[in-house]
């Protein structure tokens, strides 16, 4: 697989990474751990070198899974994880136990040790602030990560779902190597301010949910039932009526895919890869056949004519439903 560089500091990753969250968090029911280790190893065989996890996924169990799977080949891969959430009493947060944010420098220094242990490594390649904590100046967060970089515990600093203004402030203290935020054919908000800012500052972009939490694969119909703890049950964009209305974008991908002998998912990923040479999406999956399908997207070239056709068609489509419940949406773009 071709490689891409994130930022100007030398971080090189496979054009497509692997988002590991769904292996143990968010998209229940979860497969056996041994099967996910096998899938991660297959990803490496296919040329994937970029693996994404977070402390809060599980919590903890996802980092443990990724650490166990990649320990034998640690020097050949790039591991990204995240800090910024913390346990809290439900009475204090009015929500899930991990809905509290905490990016205080002393907390960052504490939790990095746990992540290093679970990941079975002495350094983290890319350490993201998972969500911007309005109670802690971003300059202090960047300063704390800068110290970890100086100590060799972290190599590169990243942000997730941050606003353009926050990115600039953080970058002035410690160069930001990558921003991770949602970006796909059914969520294009980053094109307004985020992508121009990243291009100006020389920061890479790592889109999560590049397949719209599975919707752009074409496999999720309006009558699909999700597991009771699947996060899509509380996502407005996955309400049955929204799924029915949004089917039009899948039909567009299917139409283009038929002409290129590609799946809708492959066209969606190929479109993302065609936007900028410093974009590295991280589609997630728990199925070997889907992994191989996704990786195949890296070799699909969309012509200028095809990209224009997609742009013209998508510009006339209004996606129905918010991408997050209201409480989660408030934690983004700030």
Judge contact between 50 and 78, C-beta under 8 A: yes
Distances (CA, A) of 42 to 20, 290, 295: 13, 12, 11
Phi, psi of 101, rounded to the nearest 5 degrees: -100, 145
- For residue 233, pLDDT beyond 50: yes
The span from the CA of 50 to the CA of 33, in Å, is 19
Judge contact between 198 and 8, C-beta under 8 A: no
**Each residue's pLDDT tens digit, 37-92:** 999 999 999 999 999 999 999 999 999 999 999 999 999 999 999 999 987 654 44
**Each residue's pLDDT tens digit, 117-152:** 999 999 999 999 999 999 999 999 999 999 999 999
The span from the CA of 274 to the CA of 72, in Å, is 33
Report which of 83, 161, 147 is spatially closest to residue 119, judged by C-alpha positions.
83
Domain ranges of the chain: 3-211+276-300
- For residue 96, pLDDT beyond 60: no
Judge contact between 64 and 34, C-beta under 8 A: no
Judge contact between 42 and 69, C-beta under 8 A: no
**Catalytic positions:** 57
Q: What is the pTM of this model?
A: 0.96
Mean pLDDT of 164-170: 98
- For residue 97, pLDDT beyond 90: no
CATH of 3-211+276-300, picked from 3.20.20.100, 3.40.30.10, 3.40.640.10, 3.40.50.150, is: 3.20.20.100
The span from the CA of 66 to the CA of 103, in Å, is 23
The span from the CA of 22 to the CA of 156, in Å, is 24
Mean pLDDT of 144-172: 98
- Please report which confidence band the pLDDT of residue 93 belongs to, taking 50, 70 and 90 as the band edges: very low
69 token code pair: 């799977």
For residue 87, the model assigns a pLDDT of 73
The span from the CA of 54 to the CA of 38, in Å, is 20
């Amino acid at each position: 697989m071709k490689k891409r560089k994130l930022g100007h500091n030398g971080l090189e990753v496979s054009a497509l990474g692997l988002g590991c969250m769904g292996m143990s968090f968010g998209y229940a029911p979860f497969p056996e751990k041994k099967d996910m280790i096998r899938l991660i190893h297959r990803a490496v065989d296919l040329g994937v070198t970029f693996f994404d996890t977070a402390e809060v996924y599980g919590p903890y169990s996802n980092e443990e899974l990724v650490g166990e799977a990649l320990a034998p080949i640690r020097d050949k891969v790039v591991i990204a994880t995240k800090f910024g959430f913390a346990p809290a009493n439900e009475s204090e947060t009015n929500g899930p136990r991990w809905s509290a944010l905490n990016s205080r420098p002393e907390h960052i220094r504490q939790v990095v040790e746990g992540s290093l242990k679970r990941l079975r490594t002495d350094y983290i390649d890319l350490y993201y602030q998972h969500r911007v904590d309005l109670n802690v100046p971003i300059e202090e967060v960047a300063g704390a990560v800068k110290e970890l970089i100086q100590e060799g515990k972290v190599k590169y600093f990243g942000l997730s779902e941050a606003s353009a203004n926050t990115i600039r402030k953080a970058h002035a203290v410690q160069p930001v190597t990558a921003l991770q935020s949602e970006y796909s054919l059914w969520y294009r908000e980053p094109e307004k301010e985020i992508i121009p800012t990243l291009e100006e500052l020389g920061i890479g972009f790592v889109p999560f949910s590049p397949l719209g939490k599975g919707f752009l694969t074409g496999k999720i119909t309006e009558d699909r039932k999700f597991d009771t703890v699947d996060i899509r049950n509380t996502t407005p964009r996955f309400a049955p009526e929204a799924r029915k209305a949004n089917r039009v974008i899948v039909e567009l991908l299917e139409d283009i895919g038929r002409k290129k002998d590609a799946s809708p998912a492959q066209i969606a990923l190929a479109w993302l890869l065609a936007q900028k040479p410093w974009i590295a999406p991280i589609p997630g999956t728990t199925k070997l056949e889907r992994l191989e399908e996704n990786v195949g997207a890296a070799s699909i070239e969309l012509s200028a004519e095809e990209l224009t056709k997609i742009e013209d068609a998508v510009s006339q489509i209004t996606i129905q439903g918010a991408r997050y419940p209201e409480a989660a949406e408030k934690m983004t773009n700030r």
